[in-house]
A and B are shown apart, each in its own frame.
Chain A
Amino acid sequence: MKIELRLYASLGQYLPEKKEGNSCIVEVEPGTTIRKLFLRFHIPPEARKIIFLNGIHAQGDEVLKEGDRVGAFPPVAGG
């Protein structure tokens, strides 16, 4: 099933291909959690991050569904 993965700021380096912008569509097995998805793209599991699933804060153990949008950031802030 397809989900949308968006990796921002310094997490952008873990995107699967050379991308313009920070998002890509990826194919995942049913039952995949966000955490498992991150492992697949070699995002360091111990790195602190902010995770959004469809715009809502997520912990990482959520199971993905078709069409889900996952967004992740390292610790960032602005003004």
Chain B
Amino acid sequence: MKILRINMGAAGGPKVSEEPMGQYEGLGGRALTSTLVVKEVPPLCHPLGEDNKLVIAPGLLSGTPAVMSGRISVGCKSPLTGGIKEANSGGQPSQVLAMLGYGAIVLEGKPKDNTLYKVFISKDGVKVTPDNSLRMLGNYDLVEKMKKEYGEKIACISIGPAGEMKMSAASVAFSDMELRPTRHAGRGGVGAVMGSKGVKVIVVSETGTERRTPKDPEKFREANKKFTEGLKKHPVTGEGLPAYGTNVLANVINEAGAYPTKNFLWGRFDGVQKISGETQAQLETSRGGLATHGCHRGCIIQCSGTFVDKDGHYVTKQVEYETVWALGANCCIDDLDVIAQLDRLCDDIGVDTIEMGATIAVAMEAGVAKFGDGQASINLLKEIGKGTPIGRILGNGAAVTGKVFGVERVPVVKGQALPAYDPRGIQGIGVTYATSTQGADHTAGYAITANVLKVGGYVDPLKPEGQVELSRNLQIATAAIDSTGMCLFIAFAVLDQPETFQALIDLLNAFYGLNLTADDVTALGKQILKTERDFNLRAGLTAKHDRLPDFFKKEALAPHNLTFMVKDEELDKVFNW
């Protein structure tokens, strides 16, 4: 494997160089992006400046025949949080990039003018070409254009107008198997950093590539078989997720009384049945869409799907739990067709759906629109794509929007909006939101597993006890899994079935000829977190930033009428080990 560096600010135009992994040997995914960012990016640099770097890294098992191995990490200093960022995505580019032999792409420097560039990577090399005809194209039109230019055996990594305009909620899009820009590295404004480097799209070509060969093919095949069996037999990964997708959680979290409604005012949404996973799956199938679908080649969980309108025309991928919540319940919108349109707009403009849901709700709180007004939401999103003044405000996220409109009730940590679980009803996720190096992030330490779903044990969600330990262990495990290129949904099977966890380790050992143990995996996770924490400290983030907004501690949430109860001193113990 090698590292591809593109210096966008080189005299005479973008300069391409390739080098061996060197000091980054043995690292992939988040381990690679965070280690590189910590080593090479000055923590006090301006996120849109020449000293920031955008690192795009497939995982250790990406490009191999291992199932579930198509995830990719995007790392940088975040323009949203001011700290280190790793945004994770599915889609096809990870597999292709890894098969092309790249452990990472690093975009560095800053172009001298506002020329837009496209990058084409194939078995024959790397071409960086100026192409201003791509300016302000939505991701959908952009990918269509790349298809016409380069054929269909490609995958695309791109930004929409939001990234070009360097908005802090801008995402990086990754095309799926149907070559649609539906998967995103959404959180933390990674799209803005790509925009600041002047790169509109990176096209990777599959032609002539082959899957990477394991050091011990027999052991690898055996481990892959065991791993597959484990995933298939676990009810979550083998039945629930393929049938209903992630939005099956809407009814669960609503029932638990922690489904944030009306800008985190209540824990239950009256309209939940109209936007639930069950309703969505039924709607999709009855209209000729798909309720089961994989976002990358090699996925056997197939949690995705296709959302079509009442005439059977494609609108967007099956809308995810987080997105249905953010653009739905949090804004009091109970219409799946509206939510699907909003999702497609976010994908096209290239913005984080979680941040946008939180932002629109804050704007509704400010009176910019009425809660429940779907058409108003659609119009506000379109303003973002056009780059009007209101659009630029909203495109920079909930914190900026709250500031501009004088709203106190802004649900963010380190400037990043809270996802779809209220910490007052699920205390464990509150610990993760507050303390994660990433800002308010649910996947970073997904306490929902033990707090709500009884996966990997049970910790009462309504009490402060046990939450720090739960969040700590999950944050460590997740940092490690994020480095493998594996989809985090393997965690449901891996946490419950020790033989499936062992199969994952066996996959790594068989591929690389190593002798890793479970302890090594834990050590890797700890190392990544330690390194990220160090960066954040030097970037000016302190323990004072590891806190939830005040209103979570003062205002009780119905139906359980609880506040967030984990004490500050306890939060400060999460990283003690």
A8–B252 touching, CB < 8 Å: yes
Q: Which 7 A-B pairs have the closest CB atoms?
A: A78-B249, A78-B246, A75-B235, A55-B257, A76-B240, A21-B273, A71-B255
Could you say which of A48, A55, A77 has the most chain B C-beta atoms within 10 Å of its C-beta?
A77
Which of A20, A76, A79 touches B443 (beta carbons < 8 Å)? Answer: A79
Known contacts A8-B255, A76-B236; is-contact A22 B276 (Cβ 8 Å): yes
CB-nearest residue of chain A to B462: A56
Stretch of B164-172, B451-459, B497-505 contacting A (4+ beta carbons < 8 Å): B451-459
Task: State A20–B282 Cα separation when bound (angstroms).
Answer: 11
Binary A-proximity of B453-470 (CB < 8 A = 1, otherwise 0): 111001011100000000
Task: State A46–B461 Cα separation when bound (angstroms).
Answer: 25
A9–B240 touching, CB < 8 Å: yes
Which of B235, B443, B489, B492 touches A74 (beta carbons < 8 Å)? Answer: B235
Which of B278, B460, B489 touches A9 (beta carbons < 8 Å)? Answer: B278
CB-nearest residue of chain B to A19: B273
Task: State A6–B276 Cα separation when bound (angstroms).
Answer: 13
B273–A75 touching, CB < 8 Å: no
**A14 at interface, CB cutoff 8 A:** no
Per DSSP, chain A at the interface is loop
Give the interface size bracket for A toward B: 20 to 34
Which of A9, A21, A50, A57 touches B244 (beta carbons < 8 Å)? Answer: A9
Task: State A77–B488 Cα separation when bound (angstroms).
Answer: 12
B560–A50 touching, CB < 8 Å: no
**B86 at interface, CB cutoff 8 A:** no
The interface of chain A, by Cβ under 8 A from chain B, is 6, 8-10, 12, 20-23, 48, 50, 52, 54-57, 71, 73-79
Nearest-CB distance from A43 to chain B (Å)? 15
Nearest-CB distance from B139 to chain A (Å)? 21
Residues from chain B with a CB closer than 8 A to the CB of A78 are 241, 245-249, 252, 277, 303, 321
CB-nearest residue of chain B to A8: B251
Task: State A32–B303 Cα separation when bound (angstroms).
Answer: 37
Given contacts A52-B255, A78-B241, 20 further A-B contacts (CB under 8 A): A9-B243, A10-B243, A21-B276, A21-B279, A55-B256, A55-B257, A57-B458, A74-B240, A75-B455, A76-B236, A76-B241, A76-B249, A77-B236, A77-B248, A77-B249, A77-B449, A77-B455, A78-B247, A78-B303, A79-B249
CB-nearest residue of chain B to A75: B235
Residues from chain A with a CB closer than 8 A to the CB of B244 are 9, 76
Nearest-CB distance from A53 to chain B (Å)? 10
Which of A22, A56, A57, A77 touches B251 (beta carbons < 8 Å)? Answer: A22
Residues from chain B with a CB closer than 8 A to the CB of A77 are 236, 240-241, 248-249, 448-449, 453, 455, 489, 492
